[in-house]
Chains A and B, each alone.
Chain A
Amino acid sequence: MSIRRLQFAGSGPVLVFAVLFLVVVALKQGFSAFDLRSLCVNAAPLALIALGQFVIVLARGIDLSLGPVASVAGAVMALTITDHPAVGIAGPVLIGIAAGLANGLSVAQLRLPPIIVTLATMSIWQGIALLVLPDPGGEVPAAYQALTGGFSSPFMGVAGLVVFCLVAGWILRTRFGLHLRALGGDEPAARLSGVRVSRVKLGAYVLGGVLAALGGMYLAVATSSGSPTVGDSYILTSVAAVVIGGVPLSGGRGTPLGVVMGALILTITGSLLYFADVSSFYQSIIDGAILLAVVGTGSARDWLRDIARMGPWPSRTGQPS
């Protein structure tokens, strides 16, 4: 891949988001500070959980348990923070670490396929969430809402997303981040160059679990309560946000900015339909179409060119690349 294409790989999601944003502005004939704030606050939990997914996908893994981990983290926070603020903050983070350790040890030490391990732990965390908090409830004092960056000032929401990008970018600049991407790019080569493969993988799952827990805490603060099923909708959406953000599931490449853009894109399609006065039923069609457009345009062009050049029988049909 040439350097020019690498640069484009980073700017694609920004471009898609910019276009969608302009369409919304045009439809609404303006975009107030309130709209900006609510867009950012709505996208923030998805951005956090998707960044967790991103770290894991970079190392060529996938984690379907991040959504339910977020549910449990939010539920624990909502139940404890009023009486014991320290437990309410530390508990969810520890839950994220524990979840990451369980997944990471299974994947890195036992070499089990990530998708099936996290499918099993997904079910376990969904069950734990129902035991911790059978019905939506609990309470998070409104004072904490200032921390989520959305409610005191409109631009705090934007600042929150920028902070996520910077922190995630910083992590990728550490030695851990380098090893993470080396691992996703070519595992045998990374192993031969001295990367401690299983330790880095474990680290990726733990970091992913913590980010998911932070996403759950954000949700709890933003809604002032917890819910045992609130995270379920993020299970596959976080994967979609990562892919729309320009990160291949084969790992090794991608930027935090792209992932946050992926989260914003999936959030803004809702407003787009609302302001275009189209039924929200169409939202998932648009999300699916964007997902396919992002991953498929390049190869679709190749395919059409093959068809045009060789008639209905592309010569390399079925040939593994």
Chain B
Amino acid sequence: MAVTDRAAVVSAPQTPRRRRLPAAAPILLLALTALLLGIGNFLAPGFAAPDNVLQLLKLSSFLGIAAIGQTIVMLTGGIDLSIAWVITGSAVVFTANCSGADGNIAPAAALSLGLGLAVGLINGWGVTKLRISPIVMTLAMNNIMLGATLVYTGGTPSGSSGPLVRALATGNVGFIPAMVILWCLLTAVTVIGVRYTRGGRRLLAVGESPRVSFLTGSNNDRVVVAAYAISGLAAALTGILFSAFSGASFLGMGDQFVLPTIADVVLAGTSMFGGRGGYGGTVAAVFFTTILTTVLVIGSIPQGVRSIVYGAAVLAAIIVQRLLSRRDDTGQ
């Protein structure tokens, strides 16, 4: 998928591409988020109070950081299914090596981020050099990480994160949660990186048309490998922070992140086929889906119905997007 060339496949002349969608999707999502906050406030007074909104943002930030990588990979036309067990694996490595001491944070975090980076590089290598489709490559790496994590832990993860990281994941700076500040910084870096740097423009170009990008002198393979490497790093960072937030690492802790990151990236209007979109919309989508889930929980809706509503909301959102854009986007 990553290396197919849409421009070469579609030979018929096309209507000019409409650009208003990327802006429309996040605005729609933010409007729906405001509506949900209103409903939440009705169900539980104080839900939309600034304090609580900040807590909700903190809750969203873990998914948000994992979604940075997914966004960047999907901008190249790829997908990263391996983040589930990269998150779990790096969290397990982090807590085991940190064992609750601040002094161990640096080496443990370096080991954990190195693991994420390594998996990302292998994913990128497989997708570019071996030309394996991203779904298969990252699915296989996910399996390998799953097994490796089980072998490494012997089935029971151990240790805990140092108090410093725990303060970052759960504490406040003034009245703003530290995680929200971190997420804002990472968001700024990502948005500026994708929009305004040469690397970001190459990323969009590779997703839009690999051939044109190649002819303009870009080393496509290097761009794609970098995208998967960033995804691996983002997943490892999520694992470290989420294990500190939860108090410990546990097996399967990363599973809840994979499909929501993909759904959020697509909800934000980023094309499955690469080239269009950015991280700003993903932030809105992450916040929207987190609040949706929270509202359903406080409305004491049973889990089965929550799952149906979540799926229906994602389906409705992409149908609305399709009707808004009316662009023939069947290229695969």
Give residues in A with beta carbon < 8 Å to B.
60, 62, 106, 110-113, 115-117, 119-131, 134, 187-188, 236, 239-240, 243, 248-250, 279, 281-289, 291-292, 295-296, 299-300, 303, 317-321
- Chain A proximity mask over B123-136: 1 for CB below 8 Å, otherwise 0: 00010111111011
B324 at interface, CB cutoff 8 A = no
Instruction: Check if A321 sits within 8 Å of B304, measured CB to CB.
Output: no
**What does DSSP make chain A's interface, helix, strand, loop or mixed?**
helix
B330 and A295 form a contact (CB under 8 A): no
Report the Cα distance A129→B132, complex, angstroms: 34
A120–B311 touching, CB < 8 Å: yes
In addition to A284-B143, A288-B143, 20 A-B residue pairs with Cβ atoms within 8 Å of each other are A60-B332, A110-B322, A111-B328, A115-B79, A116-B262, A116-B318, A121-B315, A127-B307, A127-B310, A130-B307, A131-B302, A134-B304, A249-B133, A250-B133, A288-B144, A292-B126, A296-B132, A317-B219, A317-B220, A321-B3
- B residues less than 8 Å from A284 (CB atoms): 143-144, 146-147, 150
Q: Are A285 and B148 in contact (CB under 8 A)?
A: yes
B42 in the interface (beta carbon within 8 A): no
| 12 A-B contacts (beta carbon < 8 Å) | A115-B79, A115-B262, A116-B318, A121-B315, A127-B309, A128-B304, A239-B139, A249-B1, A250-B332, A285-B144, A288-B139, A320-B3
Interchain CB contact under 8 A, B136 and A291: yes
Residue of A nearest to B329 (CB): A111
Q: How far is the CA of A188 from the CA of B331 in the complex (A)?
A: 11
Given contacts A124-B312, A127-B306, A288-B143, contact A119 B137 (CB under 8 A): no
Cβ < 8 Å to A, chain B residues 1-45: 1, 3-5, 8-9, 11
Chain A CB within 8 A of B248 CB = no
User: Chain B, 179-193, contact with A by CB distance < 8 Å: what is the 0/1 string?
Assistant: 000000000000000
A62 CA / B133 CA spacing, docked (Å): 13
Shortest beta-carbon distance from A138 to chain B in Å: 16
Residue interface mask B205-231, A partner, CB < 8 A = 1: 000001100100011111100000000
> Are B266 and A116 in touch, CB under 8 angstroms?
yes
